[in-house]
Structure 1
Amino acid sequence: MNKLYNKYPCTRIKNRDTEAWTGYKAIGARIQEAVATTGNMNAIVVIECYPGVRQEEIVAGLADTLAPAIVIRSEVAALEPAEVDRLVERYMTDDRVFGYMAPFRIDELYDAARIEALRHQLEEARDGIAVVIGFGASLVAQGDIVIYADLARWEIQQRYRSREFGNWRTNRVETDILRLYKRGFFFEWRMADRLKKSLLGGIDFYLDTNVKNAPKMVTREALFAGFAQVATQPFRLVPYFDPGVWGGKWLEANIELPEREHPYAWGFDGVPEENSLYFQYGDVRVELPAINLVFFESVKLLGAKVYARFGAEFPIRFDFLDTIGGQNLSLQVHPTVEYIREQFGMTYTQDESYYILDVEPGAEVYLGLKDGIEPEAMLADLRKAEKGGFTFPAEKYVNVYPAQKHDHFLIPSGTVHCSATGCMVLEISATPYIFTFKLWDWDRLGLDGKPRPVHVKHGSKVIQWDRTTDWTTKQCVNRIEDLAEGEGWKEERTGLHELEFIETRRYWFSEPVLHEANGSVHMLNLIEGEEVVVESPTGEFEPYVIRYAETFIIPASVQSYRLRPSGPSEGKRVGVIKAYVRT
């Protein structure tokens, strides 16, 4: 059991201990102090909010200390929900899962005359502090003090699931979690991120609202000092784990997770768009979406060439898929680049691979098509199974390979695949992970009691029918190539496929191994051994300890780093796998 796996990795931000506060009383007092320094006791405090922030909690929490003369909810000036629904309808589609990436800016969803009316209210009520709060508050007033209230993507999903929040400005009372998530992913979060990127550099304070009634606040300067520090040293994201219908028992047993009614299926510890970061300021731990770091330290983090290619997006993802003691994943395929661009507005697709971290006897992976099959016959059987009352004969059409610990299966887009039961998969892939076309789901329902979405129509458009047994075996199964070795170390290329933009290297070592910058961010996982330490040969960052199965990130700005077996692994052979963008 890996009792040392750190589920709460945190970076202590240097020289900023006095610039963070916790609790509404302390936060309100600090805002009041900031108001006093403006010399304007009729100051306007703007609290711009990410969708899903508990705005009424903030208003109530600050009421005693700020005693505002007026509180303006900016969203009364937004377009009516019916009008917002009309505008975004074409981007949402009728599908439960997939929409099209919407291009809206927040100002397009607000009514100019209503904004002017709110501004007039502010002018009429200038007898003390005025608070303007909401998603779009910054449209109403520039503010003497500007605060940005934020929360992590994962926390938004939890609020969807608990029914605490629905989608922003819609008449549709939605109970389907997939549809709630879809509207957030394709519309709300894109618009909110555009606004965040334009605002955050000019705010006064950043407000962490992830935990109910336990806010944390930090100055803009301290926030950006955190970004600058983390972009020049190793770090980890805050992992989270989620149950699923096919979930296994490996994560629960090996990472000491609390027992759940439904087993854990996924573990996310390397997805900046979903995961958080913890910044420690003195005694205050601030949680923020990891994507904020990507937005504001793009070049240092990603590398100039990667940024030029992808923009402020983190293109690599590591996550866990646990089927040990569980069930098969859905039989699936990912869209080609052309298809994902034309159908969904994404610029790159979900190429991926399965690195087998552990197995139980009999573990298998479905990958590629068998020789001599008829595409129309396979599609006819998939459509028949989709309607119900017919079990798709997967083994008739799809290759099944035995899986052993440390195998690596490469899965370029368009390749039919899934992990069968008995595998603990470290999935290494490109980031747009929502774009999975399920072809067959083994006659089962989701945890919500509903059939899980199947997308045979989409899948039929992207399956690469020439990826049959010979091609798959030669191109996608354990293409491991020795590259270099020395005393106590060995480097191997394990993929990914030449059609994919991610390169993966595996290192076995019992002695320190030096890694050099190559123009790309590096994402790594300790796949064998209990512990290694990441060191700077020149002392540019403090030694950073990594334990078994932990994913960690080395920014492109780090010119070199050394990995060394440490603690219980000192002198023993350990292994890491490293992914980066081919530049």
Structure 2
Amino acid sequence: MSEISIQSPETHEQVRSRFRKSTQAVMPFHLSGKQSIVDGYDIYPSHSLGSGKIKNGYASLAEWIRGYPMVVIDGYSGVLWDEVQTYLDEAFKKEGIKTGWIRAADYLKHERDVLDLVTPFLGEREAVWGTRTTLELDDFFRIEELKKVREIEGVDCTILIGTGASLSDWNVPVIYLDVPKNEIQFRMRASSVTNLGMHTVDEPAQMYKQSYFVDWVVLNRHKASLSNRITIQGDVQWEQEINWMLWKDLADGLEHLSKTVLRVRPWFEPGAWGGHWMQERIEGLNKDEINYAWSFELIVPENGIVFESDGYLLEVPFDLLMLQNNQNILGKHAGYFGTEFPIRFDFLDTWEGGNLSIQCHPSLGYIRENFGEHITQDETYYILDCKKDAQVYLGFQEGIDPSDFREKLEKSKAEGSAVDIETYVQAHTAHKHDLFLIPNGTVHSAGADNLVLEISATPYIFT
């Protein structure tokens, strides 16, 4: 990890290339009065908590910590722990407070042992799919050694810091730091973070896969077990900044949201087939990005909820709302779906782009048997806008030869050759406000020059 300097501010390009790789700007940590008034689609929708609820800066957090002889700082994957410690230590030194630091990462199992633990859940390296892990966070640690860690003598405050720090079972205040899922991915692409228990940087796609099927599953279980211990929740998606709040105020905010209308923060990604409808019309998106293929509007494992107080913004994962308030959200269905929200909303943008990848979602029996999911992915395409000759591909042609189709697809993957898809899949002319129903097991794709609102029944494993 690169060295940091809080004395010499870096340029935007230096910061972006060092700890995150994305052309889309990070969400601002503070909005002025003018910025907070958005006429139309808001890429940073927030929910007000009233004044005085969200605090800003490492100095203010250090001021709070100084009242305790021992503190635990735990957190999610993607946190830049070296930076957090550096900024807090600078703040403590300015106040003449002597701190002793203990790193939870020093008590992780060896990387090769962690790899042995996680490999069964990752499938083949070339494959997209894995299976949700059954591991727990303490499986990654030399847990008995971690639990023997004690207060450092001769300091004003001992701080145990890092993912899994609260496994020590210290009866002290717990500060929990979070990073939004999209920012974790941007940090993976910049090689500034690694997977849980790993020191070696892998390809971004592999790190995302391991995060999705292992790290995030394990850390969500851990976070759920901490809900009665956390005192402060912090958001560290920015470099050199932190916004934080008391857990009791956050819990009140989540409880309120679980009983009213809410909107999560969307995030946008380019893709091989991506288009330009959103890029041309949505304020705040980078006009220099090659395209935008997706806007993830509401997906539990991917999106976050933004709270606001005095202009300061603090984001928490949408899955935290489900961990804390799933009964209010799902009502009588909470017993079946648990902490998963079984509906997904997103935009697919192929406007002046290409054809979306041809795909097919598994039957209910297959996904239950092979992936242990409750439900499968049934979809609808609602055409928000389209050009005159836009199409939607849906359903096989009569009498196709499955072996021939498979051969053509495998050749296309191996050689990069085009497939005459209409030989195998039906093409339907799209019109604005058309609704296409896509049951599981149905081959489908959005053609070029569409803006699609995709509404899906969605298991944890989704596409």
TM-score band w.r.t. shorter chain: 0.7 to 0.9
Residue 433 to residue 301, structure 1, CA distance change in 2 (3 Å):
closer
Residues 237, 272 of structure 1: 8 Å contact kept: no
Aligned to 1:362: 389
Aligned to 1:201: 228
Say whether residues 1:71 and 2:107 are aligned partners.
Answer: no
Residue 68 to residue 295, structure 1, CA distance change in 2 (3 Å):
farther
Give RMSD over aligned pairs: 1.9
Structure having the higher strand fraction is: 1
Aligned to 1:131: 159
Tell me the amino acid that sits aligned with residue 205 of structure 1: I
* d(CA) in 1 for partners of 2:421, 2:311: 55
The number of equivalent residue pairs is 420
Tell me the amino acid that sits aligned with residue 243 of structure 1: P
Residues 366, 417 of structure 1: 8 Å contact kept: yes
Over residues 61-95 of structure 1, what are the superposed CA-to-partner deviations in whole Å (9 max), with x where a residue is unaligned? 22144434310001211111100001111111223
Aligned to 2:137: 106
Say whether residues 1:284 and 2:318 are aligned partners.
Answer: no
Residues 68, 131 of structure 1: 8 Å contact kept: no
Alpha-carbon distance, 1:416 to partner = 0.5
* d(CA) in 2 for partners of 1:433, 1:296: 18
Residue 344 to residue 228, structure 1, CA distance change in 2 (3 Å):
same
Alpha-carbon distance, 1:173 to partner = 3.3
Alpha-carbon distance, 1:125 to partner = 2.5
Residue 152 to residue 194, structure 1, CA distance change in 2 (3 Å):
same
Residue 214 to residue 390, structure 1, CA distance change in 2 (3 Å):
closer
Larger mean Cα displacement after TM superposition, 381-390 or 319-328: 381-390
1:418-457 correspondence runs (5 A): 418-432=445-459, 435-436=462-463
Residues 268, 275 of structure 1: 8 Å contact kept: yes
Return the match for 2:123 from 77, 86, 93.
Answer: 93
Aligned to 1:153: 181
Aligned to 1:221: 248
Over residues 146-183 of structure 1, what are the superposed CA-to-partner deviations in whole Å (9 max), with x where a residue is unaligned? 111111111111111122112122365312x2211100
* d(CA) in 2 for partners of 1:65, 1:259: 38
Return the match for 2:71 from 38, 45, 52.
Answer: 45
Tell me the amino acid that sits aligned with residue 279 of structure 2: E
Residues 397, 424 of structure 2: 8 Å contact kept: yes
Return the match for 2:55 from 21, 32, 40.
Answer: 21
Aligned to 1:310: 337
Alpha-carbon distance, 1:435 to partner = 4.0
Alignment TM-score, normalising by the size of structure 1: 0.69
Return the match for 2:434 from 379, 402, 407.
Answer: 407
Which of these two proteins has the greater Rg computed from alpha carbons? 1
Aligned to 1:169: 197
1:264 counterpart SS class: coil
Say whether residues 1:238 and 2:265 are aligned partners.
Answer: yes
Residue 57 to residue 172, structure 1, CA distance change in 2 (3 Å):
closer
Return the match for 1:294 from 322, 327, 331.
Answer: 322
Return the match for 1:83 from 90, 113, 126.
Answer: 113
Over residues 116-171 of structure 1, what are the superposed CA-to-partner deviations in whole Å (9 max), with x where a residue is unaligned? 45x1xx24536421000111101124242211111111111111112211212236
* d(CA) in 1 for partners of 2:332, 2:79: 34
1:482-501 correspondence runs (5 A): none
What are structure 2's unaligned runs of at least 5 residues? 1-37
Return the match for 1:115 from 146, 156, 166.
Answer: 146
* d(CA) in 2 for partners of 1:240, 1:390: 31
Tell me the amino acid that sits aligned with residue 394 of structure 1: I
- Runs of 4+ in structure 1 displaced over 3 angstroms? 64-69, 432-436
Residues 327, 421 of structure 1: 8 Å contact kept: yes
Aligned to 2:46: 10
Residues 3, 255 of structure 1: 8 Å contact kept: no
Aligned to 2:29: none
Alignment TM-score, normalising by the size of structure 2: 0.86
Aligned to 1:32: 66
Alpha-carbon distance, 1:268 to partner = 1.4
* d(CA) in 2 for partners of 1:123, 1:275: 37
Aligned to 1:57: 83
2:227 counterpart SS class: helix
Residue 389 to residue 168, structure 1, CA distance change in 2 (3 Å):
closer
* d(CA) in 2 for partners of 1:389, 1:56: 43
1:94 counterpart SS class: coil
1:200 counterpart SS class: coil
* d(CA) in 1 for partners of 2:391, 2:460: 22
* d(CA) in 1 for partners of 2:190, 2:199: 19
Alpha-carbon distance, 1:236 to partner = 1.0
Residue 260 to residue 48, structure 1, CA distance change in 2 (3 Å):
same
1 or 2 for the larger relative contact order (CA 8 Å, sep ≥6)? 2
Larger mean Cα displacement after TM superposition, 339-348 or 196-205: 339-348
Over residues 269-311 of structure 1, what are the superposed CA-to-partner deviations in whole Å (9 max), with x where a residue is unaligned? 2223211111112343211112111110111112222x12211
Alpha-carbon distance, 1:433 to partner = 7.3
Tell me the amino acid that sits aligned with residue 4 of structure 1: G
Residues 245, 262 of structure 1: 8 Å contact kept: no
* d(CA) in 1 for partners of 2:374, 2:344: 16
Q: Percent identity?
A: 36
* d(CA) in 1 for partners of 2:154, 2:364: 55
